[in-house]
Chains A and B, each alone.
Chain A
Amino acid sequence: NAGVMQNPRHLVRRRGQEARLRCSPMKGHSHVYWYRQLPEEGLKFMVYLQKENIIDESGMPKERFSAEFPKEGPSILRIQQVVRGDSAAYFCASGASGLYNEQFFGPGTRLTVL
């Protein structure tokens, strides 16, 4: 029973390039959450998705960031034209429907922008 999977674990990009981060939720989970952890800080919510729907994107920067969770395949967090301030650890969590359930976190993708 695999947990939440994220890839790549480490990603290096130069300023202006695109970063694509992938998250495969736990089996049976239909909710995906993305969080960002800046250096020396706690995790901050970015976006919550269900299959083919963005439910809450209140934590997403207004520009350059987008997320999707297609019917088939992993959830993708996409950052266009990366800047140095995007360097952070990006964590994905997954959960199930119903009353409040625990969110299970993946190992994260550490993005470094040169």
Chain B
Amino acid sequence: AQSVTQPDIHITVSEGASLELRCNYSYGATPYLFWYVQSPGQGLQLLLKYFSGDTLVQGIKGFEAEFKRSQSSFNLRKPSVHWSDAAEYFCAVPEGYSSASKIIFGSGTRLSIRP
């Protein structure tokens, strides 16, 4: 069965520092992969998605992620974080390829920003 693992529960970085959030997936074929962000008390916003093609995906708010099949990873990166990036980040994979597919979420990584 498909699954997503986010090994870091909580990460704190200084404002202006670089960021990498880890995500590992388990999937029988080439997966679709997503990163969502959830600000406190808010819903989920899609940061970026990987369907196929270029393994380096650009997203909104200056985020990018790289799909590495050999490592079963889809880590999220940002070269310089801003205080407004403090939020919960979820890596996710749809169960299948159709529009009927439910999304399987990782447990999330909470990002705190040190002034």
Q: Which residues of A contact B (CB under 8 A)?
A: 4, 31, 33, 35, 41-45, 48, 55-56, 59, 91, 93, 95-108, 110
Contacts and interface: CB of A to CB of B under 8 A. Distances in A.
A100 B107 contact: no
Contacts, number: 61
Given A42-B105, A48-B100, A48-B102, A100 B32 contact: yes
A41 B110 CA distance: 11
B97 A42 contact: no
Majority secondary structure of chain B interface residues (helix, strand, loop or mixed): loop
A100 B101 contact: yes
Given A4-B43, A101-B99, 11 more contacts: A31-B100, A33-B103, A35-B103, A43-B90, A56-B100, A56-B102, A103-B103, A105-B43, A107-B43, A108-B42, A110-B41
Contacts of B94: 100
Contacts of A41: 107-108
Contacts of A43: 44, 90, 103, 105
A100 B42 CA distance: 25
B43 A42 contact: no
A33 B44 CA distance: 14
B49 interface: yes
A4 B43 CA distance: 10
20 contacts: A4-B43, A35-B105, A42-B105, A42-B106, A42-B108, A45-B102, A45-B104, A55-B100, A59-B102, A97-B99, A100-B97, A100-B98, A100-B99, A100-B101, A102-B46, A102-B49, A104-B46, A105-B45, A107-B42, A108-B43
Contacts of B49: 102
A33 B97 contact: no
A41 to B, nearest CB: 6
B99 A106 contact: no
B99 A44 contact: no
B90 A42 contact: yes
Contacts of B108: 41-42
